[in-house]
Amino acid sequence: MHDKLFEAALGIQAPWSITGVRFDEAAKLLTLEIDFKRGSHFAMERAAGTHPVHDTVIKTYRHLNFFQHECHLQVRTPRVKLPDGSVRLVEPEFAGRLSGFTLLFEALVLMLAQQMSFTGVARVVGESVYRVQQICQRYVELALAVADFSQVRALAIDETSRCRGHDYITIAADAERRRALFVTEGREIKAIQALAEDLQAHGCPPETIESVSIDLAGAYIRGCSEYLPNARITFDKFHVIWHANFAVDRMRRIEQRSDKSLKGMRWTLLKDRARLTTSAIAELDALLARLTTLRTARAWLYKEQLREILERKQINVVRGMLQRWCTCVMRSKVEPMKQVAQLVRRHLEGIVAWAQTRQTNGFLEALNGLFQAAKRRARGYTRLSTIKTVLFLIAGKLDFSTLNPHAR
């Protein structure tokens, strides 16, 4: 009676059946013994027909807990003899993708790993961190191997730090479907070359990419121009405004040496006016009243003018206004902002493209935040393979259901 109940709960079907149930109260371990019907024949992948059993081996699979008790399936697993004389091990339908686990157990690990660190998952399921990580890495590798990128037309490419110091990885995402596609070390031209090769391998010739949004890094610009030849490059507004904000803060740091009233005003100058408190707005207005004497006030005004220009949608209007803005800034004495004007002039067409495409790296910036949070929970990641696994679990939108019917 109990055997039939467990068979129904586990979905075990002929020729498999449960032949014994053991419970070790001291170890809090439930073991289900599974065997197959005598005289059964088994099908094998890439071998036509069914084949007789040659011999058997005992294999143990970790399954979902039975209440608070650990559950193992002890399976008398057949090895079959094929027509070519070779002997191969049969994999039961409930066996997972990593040796020693069932599909249901692996599905649970995958679900938890998308929300928790590997250490946290290991603590919940009672397995080692290494085994949990291996399950996730195996599924990500298999899902990526069959992923289809043929519909990708717009890319977002950005960098993020993998550890302290100048150690970066490059992340590429489908800008329309907002899913991570590719991860590699570094942020040089070879990173874009590797991306182009990966796209080709997944059914997306690099020539079919129509647009790409990147930051103003020279390596990315040269790499996209060379390896994504038909892609229109867009520099989104947020990267441009970041450079303007950096220039405002540099100007403030320079002037505060002689004007102590600027000390402590960093976030007042960098935040949007609409998000400032009443006291901060009053402080900002007092600063702007000294527009003729304070270069920091003029730097802030130039930054706000740039923001307003990039809100417009008419390409020719944006181009003309940016050119006039650059001329005005270059005639001023706000040296840090002059560097922004030179940057805008060098990359004018890519910045103007934002007016039409409105393509941003906002999704990747959000992904970067999630990855950095995951990295802090795990006390850092050292291997690229681990970083890749975590990023694709968070934002890869991979289809695991083809590998495991219980996975979502």
**CA 177 to each of CA 71, 209, 334, 363, 386: distance values in angstroms, whole numbers, following the listed order:** 40, 14, 41, 10, 24
State residue 387's pLDDT score.
86
CA atoms lying within 13 Å on the CB side of residue 232: 16
State residue 217's pLDDT score.
77
**Residue 308: both structure tokens together:** 């307003």
State residue 191's pLDDT score.
93
β partners of residue 195: none
Query: Mean pLDDT, the chain, as a whole number?
Result: 89
Contact 255, 248 (CB under 8 A): no
State residue 380's pLDDT score.
64
Pick from 13, 90, 9: nearest CA to 44: 90
- The radius of gyration of the chain from alpha carbons, rounded to an integer in Å, stands at 30
CA 407 to CA 106: how far, in whole Å?
8
State residue 161's pLDDT score.
77
State residue 357's pLDDT score.
84
Q: Which residues of the chain have pLDDT under 70?
A: 1-3, 163-166, 375-380
Q: Provide the residue ranges of all domains of the chain, joining segments of one domain with +.
A: 2-95, 154-235+360-377, 237-357
- pTM for this model (two decimals): 0.82
Q: Which amino acid is at 179?
A: R
CA 234 to CA 181: how far, in whole Å?
19
Pick from 146, 156, 154: nearest CA to 203: 146
CATH hierarchy code of domain 154-235+360-377? 3.30.420.40
Q: pLDDT tens across 79-101, in order?
A: 998 988 899 999 898 899 988 99
Whether residue 52 is preceded by a cis peptide bond, meaning omega within 30 degrees of 0, is no
Contact 318, 274 (CB under 8 A): no
Contact 232, 353 (CB under 8 A): yes
